Chains A and B, each alone.
Chain A
Amino acid sequence: MNLSLNRIKSQNQMTNIYIGSALLILSILDVFLNSFFGVNVSGSLPGNLSIFFPLILGFLGLSYLRTEYSGYKFLDSLNKNINTSNFNAFLTLFITFAILKAFPPALSWMVLDANISGDTKEACTGTGACWTYIKVWFKRFMYGMYPNELHWRINSAFLLVIGLGFVGYFFKENLKKYLALYYVVIYPIIAFLIIYYLISGGAFGLVWVETGAWGGLSLTFIVSFFCLIFCFPLGMILALGRRSNLPAIRYISVGYIEFWRGVPLITVLFMSSVMFPMFLPQDFFMDKLVRVIIAITLFEAAYCAEVIRGGLQALPRGQYDAAKSLGMGYWKMHIFVILPQALKLVIPGIANTFLALVKDTPLIFVVGLAEIAGMLALAKTNPKWLGFAMEGYIFAAIIFWIICYAMSKYSYNLEEKYKTER
């Protein structure tokens, strides 16, 4: 293939470069004009040839351009990166043209022909997206049916919880040994109290807002936050249990972990909403949100346990032996020697588990909690705003994408950081 194309090339390298770049520019220009201005330069060609025309032209151009070394920096990097063989050249052109073709329609739908002004459906006159819909429903998507004038309570609760999370950074040296205690025991309790009293109210002169009104993105955060802080200690106990040399404890832990890892989250949620109330004492009422949080915690703890077990297994045996030879018992050994090292190893894994947890929370929609997917379903069926499903889902997708992408990049950074430290 390569040989046959070499035959048409001229001996003079400069001629090859001129012909090649002319052909390549022509082919890109053809696609560009076609997609941005609707002008079809090669339209006069017969049949399907006009579709393949730029591809053939660009392909010839790239094969003319392909040389070992030309001396021009740009051309050499082009050849090295996107034009190493015929196959690569073809793929390069294909991707470039696909992007060029897809870009103008996407741009005009998202920006140029879109509407954002006004407050009613009638304001959307363009052929593009109707961002007015998002603008009007924005507060609902963020806070659910929570009363509008009380949104400050959710905001301040989140700010307080995040602020308290950073307190650990400012611990003085002599307080550092209590850091783990703070994050594992004290912080969850304080955070729970803050969210409970500030968001649901009922005390300190705050109006009671029932959990049915909670919703939107803030509910996603609440659920995933609580599930994370509760599932971590539980997962740690299970991981230790699974590596215990006492058979009864080991088998119970293995059974627990394998059971929860083997069932889909959606059935767990169904269990929490229809089966769990049957297991509770007669007059005991438990809020649906609490039940869902317990269910997700139990579910996620099994995954957490496996991640922590990975960290425990990664520690060299010498660490255990050394601790034992110093006369440490089981708990002393784990608290002072094993867990501090193992937990450091599993931080990226825990971050990934948390990422999965955030991505799983929209599922609570199926048991009737109006999380962001639920609010979208609600808004979509509102008779005043029919027909904007696309905008809604794209909006939610963008929000989730930003959150999850940032988190995955962060966990990747953590991984790199701890990899070098060991």
Chain B
Amino acid sequence: MNNKIKRILPQLLTILFVVFVFGFFTINAQVNMDNRGIDFGFGFLSQEASFDMQFTLLDYDGQDSYLWAYVVALLNTLLVSFLGIIFCTILGVIIGVARLSQNFLIKNSAAWYVEFFRNIPLLLQIFFWYYAALRALPLPENAQPWFGVTYMTIKGYYIPSMIWENLNVFMSCLIAAIVAIIFIRVYAKKIQEREGKQLPVLYISLALITILPLLSFLIGGVTLNFEMPVLKQLAQTSFIFEGGIALPPELIALVLALSLYTSTFVAECVRAGIQGISKGQKEAAASVGLTPNQILKLVIMPQALRIIIPPTTNQYLNLTKNSSLAAAIAYPDLVLVFAGTALMQTGKAIEIVGITMLTYLSISLAIAALMNWYNKRIEIKEK
């Protein structure tokens, strides 16, 4: 009896406390909203947004609804996160491996790179790139081409855009090639287990992924043209580039800062992962008669990845959350567009901040769930 009370009483008190806090807030919110004449509800989502965004992936103008503005802004956030994740992974792996190099200079430069970018607040780095470094770029009329066809100017980075014809044919060829490669891998594994024969899977895969899309150009009627950015004079002293794709400086500054900052953390994860594999593993694999390539592929990498991937995913998650700093340099991401402009226009503070937080929360929880599933799968199964 006494034991039962000991178990139930603290739980009851905690629940009461939580209910009390929520109840207190709800009642206050009710009173406050009544006083200001605001009513709670999500009806505003279908109203006309009537503000503009300077950079969108999908078609959007001021006549679209708030809901559509939300979707477009969310896509902008995801774009930054996606680009950031790709670049920070590339940089992070290079730096992480460089930190383990035998070369004194390389090891130390990598270490200083990590110490340097890790210890400066991300917001300052974003500001530095946006307000200081990218402002030093030339005006469009003075810009020199990079790689012949792209232009880096103070107004953004201009790259040629691709104009596809029969894109879906090309895409289906690509998907077919990927499916075929998966089948071949499975088949090759079966053959190896049954007969001990090894098929040259890599060469077959490479051949498939180049030949099938190429065939779509030759037979499927797919064509690809490039639209080059061209300098155009608007007025006496005002020039812009037309055509192609323009990446705004906000996006460039954000991706640069996010990937430089996060790459230091990824580098540390990679270093820890590789260092975590004992030398004995490599020697044991070699003594069994595996080739260096096989050692890397079958013994070292599976173990290192088990250590590397969980913390690295955490860093990707951090990057995605940090991409909300976009609001500080007016890149139209979820926070700026929705929690900023839309909130100012509608005054629906609770709903909008709630939606914004829930969006980030669901991204985080989805990735966390995926991570847990992956961790379970690769866990060392001890008897």
Residues of A within 8 A of B (CB): 81-82, 84, 88, 91-92, 95-96, 246-249, 252, 258-259, 261-268, 270-271, 274-275, 277-282, 358-363, 365-366, 373, 376-377, 380, 389-390, 393-394, 396-397, 400-401, 404-405, 408
Contact = CB atoms under 8 A, between A and B. Distances in A.
Contact of B15 (A248, A259, A268, A401): A248
Given A263-B357, A400-B120, A275 B128 contact: no
Contacts of B356: 267, 270
Q: Considering the complex of A and B, which 9 residue pairs feature the smallest CB-CB distances, nearest first?
A: A262-B364, A248-B11, A404-B119, A81-B104, A264-B321, A390-B132, A262-B361, A279-B25, A264-B324
Nearest to B363: A262
A96 B105 CA distance: 8
Contacts of B363: 262
B133 to A, nearest CB: 8
A376 B126 CA distance: 13
Interface of B: 7, 10-12, 14-15, 18, 24-25, 28-29, 31-33, 35, 101-106, 109, 115-116, 118-125, 127-128, 131-133, 135-136, 321-322, 324-325, 327-328, 335, 339, 343, 349-350, 353-354, 356-357, 360-361, 363-365, 368
Contacts, number: 164
13 contacts: A82-B103, A88-B106, A246-B10, A248-B15, A252-B18, A258-B368, A263-B364, A266-B324, A270-B353, A366-B328, A377-B127, A393-B132, A408-B119
Contacts of A267: 324, 335, 339, 353, 356-357, 360
A246 B123 contact: no
B350 A278 contact: yes
A374 B325 CA distance: 14
Contact of B105 (A92, A270, A361): A92
B103 A362 contact: no
A98 to B, nearest CB: 9
B100 to A, nearest CB: 13
B124 A396 contact: yes
A125 to B, nearest CB: 19
Contacts of A268: 357
Given A81-B105, A267-B339, A362-B121, 8 more contacts: A91-B105, A271-B353, A278-B32, A279-B28, A281-B28, A363-B325, A366-B327, A408-B115
A394 B339 CA distance: 30
Contacts of A259: 361
A278 B33 contact: yes
Nearest to B326: A266
A405 B115 contact: yes
Given A270-B339, A275-B353, A393-B131, A263 B361 contact: yes
Contacts of A271: 353, 357
A277 B349 CA distance: 10
Given A373-B123, A401-B116, A262 B349 contact: no
A81 to B, nearest CB: 4
A359 B125 CA distance: 11
The A contact surface, by secondary structure, is helix
Given A365-B123, A393-B124, A249 B10 contact: yes
B128 A82 contact: no
Given A274-B343, A275-B349, A88 B102 contact: yes
Contacts of B131: 380, 389, 393
A76 B278 CA distance: 29
Contacts of A279: 24-25, 28-29, 32
Contacts of A264: 321-322, 324, 335, 360
Contacts of A274: 343, 349, 353
Contacts of B11: 246-249
Contacts of B14: 248-249, 252
Contact of A397 (B35, B120, B322, B325): B120
A263 B360 CA distance: 5
A282 B33 CA distance: 10
A281 B127 CA distance: 38
Contacts of B118: 404, 408
Contacts of B324: 264, 266-267
B242 to A, nearest CB: 29
Nearest to A250: B11
A302 B54 CA distance: 36
Nearest to B35: A282
A405 B119 contact: yes
B181 to A, nearest CB: 31
A48 to B, nearest CB: 15
B106 A92 contact: yes
B10 A266 contact: no
Nearest to A91: B106
A61 to B, nearest CB: 16
Contacts of A358: 121
A80 B266 CA distance: 28
Contacts of A359: 119-122
Nearest to A393: B128
Contacts of B361: 259, 262-263
Nearest to B323: A264
B125 to A, nearest CB: 8
Contact of B121 (A280, A377, A400): A400
A366 to B, nearest CB: 6
Contacts of A266: 324-325, 327, 335
Nearest to B365: A262
Nearest to B128: A393
B7 A246 contact: yes
Contact of B103 (A92, A249, A380): A92
A234 to B, nearest CB: 14
B375 to A, nearest CB: 16
Nearest to B115: A405
A252 B10 CA distance: 12
Contacts of B360: 262-264, 267
A25 B182 CA distance: 54
B119 A401 contact: yes
B124 A373 contact: yes
A358 B119 CA distance: 10
Nearest to B104: A81
Contacts of B10: 246, 249
A400 B124 contact: yes
A280 B103 contact: no
A396 B322 CA distance: 20
Contacts of A376: 127
A250 to B, nearest CB: 9
A264 B354 CA distance: 13
A91 B105 CA distance: 9
A277 B31 CA distance: 12
B120 A401 contact: yes
